[in-house]
Amino acid sequence: MQLAIIGTGYVGLVTGTCFAETGNNVICIDIDQKKIDKLIQGKSPIYEPALDVLLERNIKEKRLHFTTDLAAGIKEAKVIFLALPTPPGKDGSADLQYVLDVAKSLSTIITHYTVIVNKSTVPVGTAEKVHAALIQNLDRSLFDVVSNPEFLREGVAVDDFLKPDRVVIGTSSEKARKVMDELYQPYVRQGNPIHFMDERSSEMTKYAANSYLAMRISFMNEMANLCEKTGANVDWVRIGMGGDSRIGKRFLFPGIGYGGSCFPKDVQALAHTALEQDYDFQLVKTVMKVNDLQKLVLGRKVKNYFGSDLSAYTFAIWGLAFKPETDDIRDAPALQLINELLAAGAKLRVFDPEAMNNVKQIVGDKIHYAEDQYDALTGASALIVVTEWSEFRNPDFDRIYTTLKHPAMFDGRNVYSMEKMEELGFYYESIGRKVIHKHVHDTLPAPHNTIVRERGVMD
């Protein structure tokens, strides 16, 4: 099938490449000339595991093409996907300007029947708005608008796209339904379903899914905070809860708040939709509030220990991306932590396997970008773990211990076992678990308040 993808970012590029992989002829369109130039040379502008191989193969087989020319790109297309940004506006609503502007442009250049598919995450009623933008200049018989929200996860996006748990398609057109069904058949061969529904339900499904997942995270973060106060271990609580098939094991990990390009903006947008409908969606509002507070937890732990004036200290930060296996730093908790520690006077040495360049563009030279994870430790008073990249999971602990000025660790992702930290003699704080400071507290600077020692279950 001839396909055009407008917007060649995380979603557009993965979508285009994975559709090419099953034999479709795909043209990816973007307004960013640099991105398109890079892609024409076969280089991915983003880090996404397994994408490079597929990209190279499909470019070589001439099934995947890139352009900045919208009219040329969509000329032959039977289906056009919109994978455009829908960033939060000032009031928290999803900004539809990119989607509607492109729809308007399409209305003047489409010449044959085309299915226009919204893959961007958009609020209920957007399919109708896109329809209204198209009908201004385009005959009704020449298009159908379909909602097809994307559920891929960055880091495993290719796998998610090729083997989706389910595909959701919102359309009231039988003609468009047949086209979409044909297109997605190669991806549902193992019996995973395609759910056809109306456009509004499809649009709402995406917000419901993301907000529900965000709610699980906020719930577990609050549970972790309560575990810290009561002496329970949130890891055991998580395992005990997750064994219940009604709850399930996934998405129960506490941490330092959800981030990324989706959850924060999508939860906010759902809250805004509720507001517009004069509905007080209390749960969603609380999910956001809990998350805002949770992003402060790790910085507070560091300050509780070293004091509110951190100008005498350097800290090593491992992990900047909002989660492992991506270079995406949009709304990453690391950025907030960096700002907070810098504001308190700290010097920072950071390392991330993939996200350093993106952070450099935002934070600049206010922090030191280390050569590797161990270089980040040089001269540091403590190690702060923010993203649980695999390579941080089993590091050379002796090297960490001897390189740090004080063997102290603040772990925002519960990467390490408390028994191991105790055995090695680290001062160790994590999320929702007791503080470890059995062997080392004499060598550490005196805590600036007593919370840490009062909570010291080891004593």
Ligand X SMILES: NC(=O)c1ccc[n+]([C@@H]2O[C@H](COP(=O)([O-])OP(=O)(O)OC[C@H]3O[C@@H](n4cnc5c(N)ncnc54)[C@H](O)[C@@H]3O)[C@@H](O)[C@H]2O)c1
Residue numbers at the binding site for ligand X (CB under 6 A): 6-12, 29-32, 35, 83-86, 98, 102, 120-121, 150, 152, 154, 261-262
The nearest distance, CB 21 to ligand X, in angstroms, is 18
Burial of 281 (0-12, 13-18, 19+ CB in 10 A): middle
117-136 b/e (C-beta count within 10 Å ≥ 16 → b): bbbbbbbbebbebbbebbee
- Cβ atoms < 10 Å from Cβ of 192: 13
- DSSP-derived letter for residue 377 is G
DSSP 164: -
Q: With contact defined as beta carbons under 8 Å apart, do 50 and 12 qualify?
A: no
Question: For 205, which DSSP code?
Answer: H
Whether the CB-CB separation of 268 and 88 falls below 8 Å is answered with yes
- Given the complex with ligand X, which of 154 and 411 has the nearer CB atom? 154
The strand ranges marked E within 86-134 are: 114-118
Nearer CB in complex with ligand X: 21/48: 48
Q: In this complex, which beta carbon is closest to ligand X, that of residue 291 or of residue 326? A: 326
Residue 226 CB coordination number (10 Å)? 13
CB of residue 39 vs ligand X: minimum separation in angstroms?
Answer: 10
Distance CA 423, CA 420 (A): 5
The SS3 call for residue 347 is strand
Q: Which is nearer to ligand X, 168 or 435 (CB)?
A: 168
Quick check: helix, strand or coil at residue 210? helix
Cα–Cα distance between 124 and 322 in angstroms, integer?
27
Pairing of strands 114-118, 2-6: unpaired
Chain centroid to Cα 127, Å, comes to 25
Residue 328 identity (one-letter amino acid)? D
Least distance (Å) between residue 369 CB and ligand X? 23
Closest distance of CB 193 from ligand X, Å: 19
Look at residues 35, 14, 152 and name the one whose alpha carbon lies nearest to residue 81: 14
Smallest Cα–Cα separation from 297: which of 258, 342, 347, 343? 258
Nearest approach in angstroms of CB 12 to ligand X is: 6
Query: Which CB atom, from 35 or from 301, has the smaller least distance to ligand X?
Result: 35
Nearer Cβ to ligand X (21/228): 21
Measured at CB, which residue is nearest to ligand X?
Answer: 9
Q: How far is the CB of 344 from ligand X (least distance, A)?
A: 32
Q: Looking at beta carbons only, is 118 or 373 nearer to ligand X?
A: 118
Query: Which residue intervals of 243-383 are DSSP H helices?
Result: 263-276, 282-294, 297-306, 333-343, 356-363
Name the catalytic one among 18, 28, 227, 262.
Answer: 262
CB of 245 to ligand X, least distance (A): 27
**Rg of the chain taking only CA atoms, in angstroms:** 24
Query: In the numeric block, which tokens belong to residue 187?
Result: 């991806």
262 belongs to the catalytic site: yes
User: Partners of 67 in the beta sheet?
Assistant: 29
Nearest CB to ligand X, comparing residues 102 and 384: 102
Smallest gap from Cβ 268 to ligand X, in A, equals: 12
| Contact status, residue 354 vs residue 49, Cβ threshold 8 Å | no
Residues that are catalytic: 262
